[in-house]
């Protein structure tokens, strides 16, 4: 019995051997070759993207900036105090005294597709870490049935926030409502409703046909 | 001599395609119900039109194509590839009618991305879409992960005749149970059981993170469907960044890792074969290649000093790498962060992870761990053969559910499929570079599409050239069906033209 178990254990170890060996080999290669190579390569930086605004050395506090510039030149904006304006979407997620809100400064910031806005690409925006009391000032958050409040915040931009697991975020100190949002009024599309009924009636007729045909064929 | 398909062959294909499309129509009842519950009337009408179109097309085919002829292997494969195309065309109706797409092609792109569990999207203003449409996006990816053929087999097929032939065509060749319809039902049993448990944990954690109970519930179901199916869709444009939570990450990572495992492995473990977890070639291959990708990404990130400390670096890097390797595509960084912060070297690590991908007969894409393991074993076997005496017989074994001897036929098939994947990755990259995208960025999104991952570094967008959209749709379709069904469909077209 014991011998049997030992045999099983040995076979288990054998099966693990290739995996452990390859992991050890990778670690060895990494530490002996890649490690020094990395040292030689360190100091390389990603170049700034000149297509987007780049902060100067003497940027005044609260420079107005959009989300695309922040993502494209994140390292250059890191630690700067910025002003950011966008539509509040989703909801405020309160975490004690602080809360997460998300502000979109995209083509749908003032009017969304459900209200008849032109298509203007993807959503884009930024996550903002703000006092829950300030977040409570936001009345409408954007979704299918609402156009959210447009909110202006001033805060510090973090390219990889040490407090929030490396997230790219803005820690806001002030929050101002620029425009109060509103519910979106959807008008029922009657012609489409008619098309839907016609298709469903047609489907019902075909279903009846199918029963008759299957009975006739009786395969 | 190539034999031209007869009318009776088309009837067989039409009959079974009809059944699959009816299944797609029935699936739309879920988002329809969601829209009705939330009073999204226009969205509900869009789904009624979608259901009507699917039923008319599917029932129409069934009425026109009744035949006593049995299904052959060729029919099965063509049914799969053709029904996936038709399911994409008809499934895109609610998408397009929502008004969030520039063209019908864009809507089809999203639906193909959903079915194939890719997760790339061209939908615009995602943050203002209805709950119904969000439900449809995620149901698509959940259903696509298990396989729309599997759904049809589970609910719409009465006899087992021909069932195995179309089941195999969908890139799944494992039989969990002797009967293929029972196998399809077992796949659903596994997935639904995990759905209940996983969604419950995500729901509770969502409420702890500050989401309201109802929104937390919806997000939980959607994120589970996306993670389990290794899809990558999310209800908000911020994807997983939206939650800002280690807890959410800790819950989602095991979901997409388990989701990326072979259904046969799940079944073996469910039925008491727990040793299979550490004996299976795919699991060994998966953990080895994950380790390599992690090392590459770590080296790249450390070189550039992107994150303030090693714990944060590991958290960010681990989530993206495992998401890429399981071909999930959920991300806790912005798309452009790959290019603007992570840099080319880390991106290569992610590309490698995406290219290799998940397990065979799972919800994931890519080369698959099984094939990587087989090819690795074949290399070892050949090296051993080279250094052994000529008279020596070198035997290599591999374990997947049962232990088997490695033979040339198995290696040849594995190599053929891997080469086909390399072909579609190259196709997408070449087209991207032709349109002026940077080589690594073009490769990143092309591999993401071909391996059904869904991570993007910003190449995929509603404004990208139409040809690139078409190529990516093809990549997603070919990658998900693992080529055999496509070869069969192409063969059918050739036979139509050149056959006698």
* Nearest CA distance, B258 vs chain A (angstrom): 19
pLDDT at residue B149 is higher than 90:
no
Touching A: B residues 206-225, CB under 8 Å: 209-212, 215
Tokens of B13: 């294909």
Give the residue on B whose Cα is nearest the Cα of A143.
B128
User: How large is the average pLDDT for residues B284-302?
Assistant: 92
H/E stretch holding A155? strand A150-158
Task: Residue count of chain B, please give it.
Answer: 500
The answer to whether the CB atoms of A200 and B51 lie below 8 A apart is yes
Looking at residue B119, its pLDDT comes to: 96
CB atoms within 10 A of CB B435: 13
How sure is the predictor about B63, in pLDDT bands with cuts at 50, 70 and 90? Answer: very high
- Determine the pLDDT at residue A11: 52
Residue B467 buriedness (CB in 10 A; 0-12 / 13-18 / 19+): exposed
Within 120-149 of A, beta carbons closer than 8 Å to B belong to 120-125, 127, 142-145
The alpha carbon of residue A217 and the mean position of all alpha carbons in its chain are separated, in whole angstroms, by 55
- Set of chain B residues whose Cβ sits within 8 Å of the Cβ of A159: 341
DSSP letters for B235-283: SSTTGGGGG--HHHHHHHHHHHHHHTS-HHHHHHHHTT-TTHHHH-HHH
Nearest CB among B42, B68, B299 relative to A188 is that of: B42
Burial class (CB in 10 A: 0-12, 13-18, 19+), B156: middle
Phi, psi of B269 (to 5 degrees): -65, -40
Q: Is residue A180 less than 8 Å (CB to CB) from chain B? A: no
- Other residues' Cβ atoms within 10 Å of the Cβ of residue A190: 9
H or E stretch at A169: strand A169-179
Average pLDDT over residues B319-328: 96
Confidence of residue A56 (pLDDT cuts 50, 70, 90): confident
The closest CB to that of B340, out of A72, A121, A166, belongs to: A72
Query: What pLDDT, on the 0 to 100 scale, is given for residue A6?
Result: 47
Cα-Cα-Cα-Cα dihedral sign, residues B174, B179, B184, B190: negative
Whether residue A8 has pLDDT greater than 60: no
Q: Yes or no: say if B301 and B342 are a contact pair by the CB < 8 Å rule.
A: yes
Q: Which of B190, B489, B140 is nearest to B361 (CA)?
A: B190
Q: Which among A94, A200, A213 has the least Cβ separation from residue B66?
A: A213
- Of residues A49, A94, A209, nearest to B210 (C-beta): A94
Check CB contact of B51 with chain A, cutoff 8 Å: yes
**Of A62-76, A158-172, B4-18, B122-136, where does mean pLDDT reach its minimum?**
B4-18
pLDDT at B402 over 70: yes
Residue of B373 and B263 predicted with greater confidence: B373
Alpha carbon distance A202, B383 (integer Å)? 65
Mean pLDDT of B73-100: 91
- Judge: A90–B127 Cβ closer than 8 Å, yes or no: yes
Give the three-class secondary structure for B386.
helix
Closest chain A residue by Cα to residue B60? A206
Least Cα distance to B464 among B449, B480, B451 occurs for B449
8 Å CB contact between B146 and B153: no
Q: What share of chain A is helix, strand, coil (3-state, %, to 5)?
A: 40, 25, 35
pLDDT for A44 beyond 70: no
d(CA B325, CA B306): 22
pLDDT, averaged across chain A: 87
Q: Which ipTM value was assigned to this complex?
A: 0.90
The whole-number pLDDT of residue A35 equals 60
B305 and A42: CB-CB below 8 Å? Answer: yes
Q: Decide which of B268 and B116 is more confident.
A: B116
Residues of B with CB below 8 A from A12's CB?
A: 275, 278-279
A19 CB-near residues (< 8 Å, 6+ apart): B284, B287, B288
Q: Which of residues 3-42 of A touch B (CB under 8 A)?
A: 12, 15-16, 18-19, 22-23, 26, 30, 34, 38, 41-42
Mean pLDDT of chain B: 90
Tell me the two tokens of residue B438: 């940077």
Distance from CA of A72 to the nearest CA of B (A): 6
Kindly tell me if the per-residue pLDDT of B207 is higher than 70: yes
Q: Pairing mode, if any, of strands A63-64 and A81-95?
A: parallel
| CB within 8 Å of B317: residues ≥ 6 apart | B294, B297, B298, B301, B346
Q: Is the pLDDT of residue A219 over 60?
A: no
Q: Minimal CA–CA distance to A82: which of A98, A66, A68, A71?
A: A66
Taking an 8 Å cut-off on Cβ atoms, the answer to whether B337 and A71 are in contact is: yes
Would you state the pLDDT for residue A17? Answer: 66
Question: What do you get for the CA distance between the two ends of chain B, in Å?
Answer: 8
Of all residues in chain B, the one with the smallest CA distance to A9 is B275
Structure confidence at residue B31 (pLDDT):
98
Confidence class for position B452, pLDDT limits 50, 70, 90: very high
Task: Output DSSP code: residue A139.
Answer: -
Domain residue limits, chain A: 63-183, 190-219
- The pLDDT score that the predictor gives to residue A10 is 47
- Which pair of tokens denotes residue B351? 């590309």
User: Which whole number is the average pLDDT over B218-237?
Assistant: 96
- 8 A C-beta contact, residue B367 and residue B418: yes
Contact yes or no for B56 and A100 at CB 8 A:
no
Mean pLDDT of B324-350: 95
From chain A, pick out residues whose CB is under 8 angstroms from the CB of B51: 199-200, 203
Q: Does A142 or A216 have the greater pLDDT score?
A: A142
How far, in Å, CA of B175 to CA of B177, rounded?
5
Q: Which helix (H) or strand (E) element contains residue A48?
A: none
Task: For residue range B465-484, list pLDDT tens digits in order.
Answer: 999 999 999 999 999 888 87
* Cα B293 to Cα B318: distance, rounded to the nearest angstrom: 10
* Token pair of A26 as six digits: 């990778």
Which of A90, A109, A167, A170 should we substitute to test contact with B (largest number of B Cβ atoms within 10 Å)? A90
Average pLDDT over residues B318-329: 96
> Who has greater pLDDT, B464 or A17?
B464
End-to-end CA distance of chain A: 58
Which residues have CB under 8 Å from B430's CB, separation 6+?
Answer: none
Which of A165, A170, A185 should be substituted to probe chain B, the one whose Cβ sees the most B Cβ atoms within 10 Å?
A165
pLDDT at B88 over 90: yes
**Superfamily name with CATH number, domain A63-183:** Nucleic acid-binding proteins (2.40.50.140)
- For residue A64, pLDDT over 60 is answered with yes
């Amino acid at each position: 019995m014991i011998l049997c178990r030992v045999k099983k254990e040995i076979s288990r170890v054998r099966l693990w051997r290739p995996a452990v060996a390859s992991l050890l080999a990778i670690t060895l290669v990494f530490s002996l070759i890649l490690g020094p190579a990395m040292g030689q390569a360190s100091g390389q930086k990603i170049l700034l993207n000149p297509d987007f605004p780049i902060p100067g050395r003497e940027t005044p506090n609260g420079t107005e900036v959009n989300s695309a510039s922040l993502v494209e030149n994140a390292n250059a904006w890191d630690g700067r105090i910025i002003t950011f304006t966008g539509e509040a979407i989703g909801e405020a997620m309160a975490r004690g005294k602080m809360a997460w809100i998300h502000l979109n400064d995209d083509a749908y910031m003032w009017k969304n597709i459900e209200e008849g806005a032109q298509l203007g690409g993807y959503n884009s925006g930024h996550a903002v870490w703000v006092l829950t009391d300030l977040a409570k000032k936001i009345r409408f958050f954007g979704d299918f049935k609402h156009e959210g409040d447009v909110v202006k915040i001033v805060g510090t931009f973090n390219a990889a926030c040490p407090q929030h697991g490396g997230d790219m975020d803005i820690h806001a100190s002030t929050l101002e409502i620029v425009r109060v949002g509103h519910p979106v009024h959807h008008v029922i599309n009657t012609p489409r409703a008619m098309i839907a009924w016609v298709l469903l009636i047609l489907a019902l007729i075909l279903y009846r046909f199918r029963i008759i045909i299957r009975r006739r064929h009786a395969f | 001599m190539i034999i031209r398909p007869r009318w009776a062959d088309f009837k067989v294909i039409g009959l079974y395609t009809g059944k699959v499309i009816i299944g797609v129509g029935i699936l739309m009842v879920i988002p329809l119900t969601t829209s009705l519950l939330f009073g999204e009337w226009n969205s509900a009408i869009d789904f009624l039109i979608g259901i009507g179109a699917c039923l008319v097309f599917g029932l129409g085919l069934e009425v026109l194509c009744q035949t006593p002829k049995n299904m052959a292997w060729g029919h099965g494969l063509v049914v799969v590839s053709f029904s996936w195309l038709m399911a994409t065309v008809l499934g895109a109706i609610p998408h397009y009618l929502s008004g969030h797409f520039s063209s019908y092609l864009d809507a089809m792109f999203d639906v193909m991305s959903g079915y194939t569990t890719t997760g790339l999207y061209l939908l615009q203003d995602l943050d203002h879409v209805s709950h119904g449409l969000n439900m449809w996006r995620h149901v698509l990816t959940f259903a696509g992960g298990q396989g729309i053929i599997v759904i049809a087999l589970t609910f719409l097929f009465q006899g087992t005749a021909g069932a195995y032939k179309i089941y195999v065509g969908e890139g799944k060749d494992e039989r969990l149970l002797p009967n293929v319809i029972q196998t399809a039902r077992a796949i659903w049993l596994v997935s639904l059981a995990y759905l209940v448990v996983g969604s419950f944990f995500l729901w509770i954690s969502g409420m702890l993170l500050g989401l309201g109970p109802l929104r937390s519930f919806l997000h939980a179901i959607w994120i589970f469907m996306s993670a389990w199916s290794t899809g990558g869709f999310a209800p908000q444009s911020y994807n997983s960044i939206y939650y800002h939570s280690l807890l959410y990450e800790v819950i989602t990572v095991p979901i997409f890792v388990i989701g990326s495992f072979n259904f046969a492995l799940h079944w073996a473990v469910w039925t008491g074969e727990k040793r299979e977890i550490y004996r299976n070639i795919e699991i060994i291959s998966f953990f080895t290649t994950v380790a390599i990708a992690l090392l590459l990404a770590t080296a790249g990130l450390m070189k550039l000093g992107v994150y303030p400390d090693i714990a944060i670096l590991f958290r960010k890097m681990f989530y993206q790498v495992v998401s890429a390797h399981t071909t999930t595509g959920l991300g806790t960084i912005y798309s452009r962060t790959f290019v603007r912060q992570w840099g080319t070297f880390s991106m290569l690590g992610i590309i490698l992870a995406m290219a290799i991908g998940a397990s065979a007969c799972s919800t994931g894409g890519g080369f698959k761990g099984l094939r990587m393991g087989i090819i690795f074993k074949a290399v070892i076997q050949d090296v051993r053969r080279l250094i052994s005496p000529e008279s020596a017989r070198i035997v290599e074994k591999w374990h997947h559910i049962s232990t088997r001897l490695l033979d040339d036929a198995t290696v040849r098939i594995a190599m053929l499929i891997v080469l086909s994947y390399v072909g579609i990755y190259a196709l997408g990259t070449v087209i991207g570079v032709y349109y002026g995208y940077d080589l690594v960025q073009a490769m990143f999104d092309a591999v993401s599409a071909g391996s059904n991952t869904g991570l993007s570094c910003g190449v995929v967008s509603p404004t990208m050239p139409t040809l690139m959209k078409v190529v990516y749709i093809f990549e997603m379709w070919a990658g998900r069906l693992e080529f055999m069904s496509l070869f069969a469909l192409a063969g059918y077209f050739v036979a139509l033209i050149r056959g006698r």
